[in-house]
Each structure stands twice: as structure tokens, then as C-alpha cells.
Amino acid sequence: MAFDTVQTPAGKAESVLGGSVNYFSVAASFYAPIRIVGVVGEDFPKSHLGWLSEKRIDVTGVQIVPGKTFHWVGSYDGNLNEAKTLNTSLNVFEHFNPKLQASHTDTPYVFLANIDPVLQQSVLDQVKPPKLVALDSMNFWITGKPDEVRKTLQRVDILSINEGEAFLLSGERQLMRAAQKIQAMGPSVIIIKRGEYGAALFTRNGAFLAPAFLVDRVVDPTGAGDSFAGAFMGFLAEAGASREMAAQDPARFENLLRRAVLAGCVMASFTVEDFSLHRLMRLTSDELVRRQGELLKMIQVL
């Protein structure tokens, strides 16, 4: 949960709502009910938590503690694929240690957003064996706590990561080789996000290459990756995908993963059309379904 101040070629947004959990949960809520765990300061608008809880998002795991909410300041230049971080104020996030309430320990689909890998492992220690566990991470942890990242990787089914991070983690510069090296570290499913070029999925059965939906105008790329992940996981949860299905009906599991990636691409394409969560907050199911059809048409060969 965060405030973001973002400058893009389209304009500037000051202290708007952001954070992985925000983007992820709103995106996922189009597909499945969500429980979120996070921390905010006393400056965080309660009205937003209220709005989230109206959308199948259980916010009882969000701690409100004295102090200020995490604040990220960043900008995008010509290259909208990569944010430049200008300032990070951890604030209440600095001492965040996720403790799950009893009613949340039985959660079938777990997404570990980007945070210290030690804390990611602690969350896994607290939950009953889930149907699927997915992980996000970033350069900061890959270089700063490589051993802990490796330990976390051994315990997850799916890794969702940027192209540059995949190269860094694997030490390989070709996508296929990078994915294979990361698979050998634990997760059988690797999703490599490629910004405006879409996403690549790697499973034991090979690669699936999904393009980004072509939007008329990218206003702000912030949250594209998190809303991608939210729609992806929400889609899998709604479809009942699981480790068990992967073993018993790999073809069905594979196809659900592919459709989940496309759902992620579509969701991300809405996110970038406006600053903050603005576009997702006014997104309708009809718009979502229509664009999913349009993206399928953009990759169809008869």
C-alpha cells in the first residue's frame, strides 16, 4: 500500500494511491475474492479501504499504524518500460512484518508481492499448503539478498518477474535460457513481463508469447506489472488451477496459464491508460470482456 508521485510524458500525479497490493487486489477482484495483507499509516484514506471492501477485497489484514504510508517518487522518460526511482520513503513499511490472522491462514492462492524474501518465507510459514503460490521480486533483493531469494524460489510454483530482473537473476541474456535457469531454481512456471511488448510464459511444456494489448495512449505505466499479476492469479483462482491439476491434467493447466497471461495483459493495458488506480476503479466487466476478445483477435491465426 503506497502513495505514488509520478511524472510521465503525459503529466504528473502527486501523492496518488498506489502500491502492489492496491493494483493487484483491484485487478484480481474482477475474477475472485481477495484477502490482502499490508500496512498503511494514519494518513491513508479510510474511504479507499472502504471502497476496496465493497469489491470482494477483505482488507481486515491491513494494519493501520502510527506514522506515514510508504511513498514512492518516480518518473518515466521516453522509455515507458522502465521507471526511474527518484525517492523512496519507507515510512511505516520499514518495520512491516506480515502476521496473518487465523482466518487467513487457509488461503488457497497466495501471491507474495515484492518485499524482503525473508518476510515472503515467513508468510509461507504461516499458511496451510496452498493450491498455488506465486512470487514477485526485484533487482534490490536479487542483488541484496540472493541466498534468501533462492530459498524463497524453492518454495513457489510461479515466478512473475521483469525481463531485466530475469536476466539479472539467471545471468543469461536470452529469454529462453534465462527462464530455464530460473526453473531449475524451483518454480515450474515463469512469467517474464516485457512492458509494452507483453509477457512470456515458460512452463515444462515450452514457451507462450503474449503481446501487450495496443492502447491508444499510455498515460502512466505504474502498476501495470502488479495488475497483470492480479488478473493472472485471479483468473487461475476462478478456474480452480492447482499443482494437482498440473500433475493430473497438464494440458488443461497449460491452457489455463496461457489464458491467465492474456487476462493479465488485458488488465495491464487498462491500468496504463490513466494515473494511479483511476482506470481500474472505473473499469467495467463489459469493457474487460470486450478487450479480451480484441486481444485474442490480435493473436489469432486460422
CA nearest neighbour of 124 among 178, 186, 166: 186
Per CB under 8 A, the segment of 107-115, 118-126, 169-177, 225-233 that binds its own copies is: 169-177
Q: Total binding residues for its own copies by CB under 8 A?
A: 32
Tracing cell 502498476 back to the chain, one arrives at: 223
Task: Indicate whether 302 belongs to the interface with its own copies (CB under 8 A).
Answer: yes
For residue 51, the tally of other CB atoms under 10 A from its CB is 16
CB-based contacts of 295: which residues, under 8 Å, 6+ apart? 211, 213, 262, 265, 266, 269
CB-based contacts of 260: which residues, under 8 Å, 6+ apart? 231, 232, 233, 235, 236, 239, 241
Task: Indicate whether 215 belongs to the interface with its own copies (CB under 8 A).
Answer: yes
Per CB under 8 A, the segment of 19-27, 151-159, 199-207, 219-227 that binds its own copies is: 199-207
DSSP code of residue 169: H
Task: Indicate whether 134 belongs to the interface with its own copies (CB under 8 A).
Answer: no
Burial class (CB in 10 A: 0-12, 13-18, 19+), 84: exposed
Q: Least distance in Å: CB of 218 to its own copies?
A: 7
3-state class of 16 per DSSP? strand
Task: Indicate whether 258 belongs to the interface with its own copies (CB under 8 A).
Answer: yes
Beta strands in 96-197 (DSSP E): 109-112, 132-136, 158-162, 189-193
Q: Which residue, 157 or 254, has its beta carbon nearer to its own copies?
A: 254
Q: Least distance in Å: CB of 176 to its own copies?
A: 4
Task: Indicate whether 193 belongs to the interface with its own copies (CB under 8 A).
Answer: no
| Helix, strand, coil in percent for the chain, rounding step 5 | 45, 25, 35
Q: Least distance in Å: CB of 211 to its own copies?
A: 4
Phi-psi region of 39 (alpha: psi -120 to 50; beta: other; left: phi over 0): beta
Q: Which residue, 9 or 129, has its beta carbon nearer to its own copies?
A: 9
Task: Indicate whether 243 belongs to the interface with its own copies (CB under 8 A).
Answer: no
Per CB under 8 A, the segment of 63-71, 150-158, 172-180, 232-240 that binds its own copies is: 172-180
Q: Least distance in Å: CB of 149 to its own copies?
A: 24
Which residue in 18, 38, 198, 264 binds its own copies (CB under 8 A)?
198
Task: Indicate whether 289 belongs to the interface with its own copies (CB under 8 A).
Answer: no
What is the C-alpha R_g of the chain? Answer: 18
Per CB under 8 A, the segment of 30-38, 49-57, 239-247, 292-300 that binds its own copies is: 292-300
Residues 1-40 that bind its own copies (CB under 8 A): 9
By the criterion CB under 8 A, which residues form the site for its own copies? 9, 173-177, 194, 197-198, 200, 206-209, 211, 214-218, 255, 258-259, 262, 294, 296-302
